[in-house]
Chain A
């Protein structure tokens, strides 16, 4: 049976750099837990569980891209950010990566911090910045939401791929002969194509949910100016 490895494998990045990124990822995820709790209520919590499970499923679906012999798969940061917000969204992707590394032997356990940094943190952050911008600029229509999802997803994949290039520059185990730009270009090119797939999947999914239950799409809820961002000082003196 062919080996399905979809994330950074052991030995690709050296130990110290992997450890630094593990610490970085841990700190950011802890912050996401703190901020995400403001969003997490009885409705968002199960929704976040579903988003994680859905991303796991779709990550298994490697699709061919135009370049012969190369496939791509969803990363999910943009999808998660749209449906459950950036903080909880990053945690969703991280949960998927942890399950994949610990149960399915995909992505080295020692490389988990690197993979989480690229896909859960960088991917989701890039996606959410674009989502926040585009939803403000584009018309509040289904098309507007779809375009937002597509663009945010596409860019987030390319950004995540460049996260790997940075990590490889810091701790790559093979000598590229000074050709880091070559790796950056290859990664960006391939992931631009993968990003198209990511964009189509993300837009289709989010538009579908928005049609059925718009109240469960975080990005649509957040832009309603009538509701001043969920209870500002967590539990402060509101009740």
Chain B
């Protein structure tokens, strides 16, 4: 019942690292379903750049963080395309695991070992011990921060 999940987590991470770090270099570079649909009405050349016509994709503007060091799944300063894509993929996998895993870990239900046995209703005010309601608050706001950015100032 309470078999540890860690062997599978480790194995899964290795697969993800391999996919993002190596296999990603063999991915198709054609526009995806969304981009290609937005290109309808335009003509494109062999590099999938717009050469004429009129289509929704022409309205696209630069990304706010287009000059981020990892923008477009490459590492700025790394000339070798294979390495650049691979390293950015590895960083992305580790970063996503750390961020996601960290947030989920903070938000998890505490087992009876760590939780207060006489826990009040979820509405009860914080009562010293890190009970469920107290532990939930910071995570909720962290998730909210992450999601709030698009609506906000940037």
Contact = CB atoms under 8 A, between A and B. Distances in A.
Interface of A: 1-12, 18-19, 22-23, 25-26, 29-30, 33-34, 36-38, 40-58, 60-65, 67, 69-73, 88, 91-92, 94-96, 98-106, 108-113, 116, 161, 164, 168, 172-174, 176, 182-183, 186-187, 190-191, 193-194, 209, 212-213, 215-216, 234-236, 239
A96 B96 CA distance: 6
B49 to A, nearest CB: 10
B122 A235 contact: yes
Interface of B: 1-6, 8-9, 12-13, 15-17, 19-20, 23-24, 27-38, 40, 47-48, 54-66, 68, 70-74, 81, 84, 88-89, 92-105, 107-109, 111-112, 115, 117, 119, 121-122, 131-132, 136, 139-140, 143-144, 146-151, 154
B97 A50 contact: yes
B60 A9 contact: yes
Nearest to B91: A103
B92 A99 contact: yes
B151 A33 contact: no
A50 B104 contact: no
Given A61-B24, A112-B147, A216-B8, 6 more contacts: A1-B72, A40-B107, A56-B20, A60-B27, A105-B72, A110-B154
Nearest to B8: A213
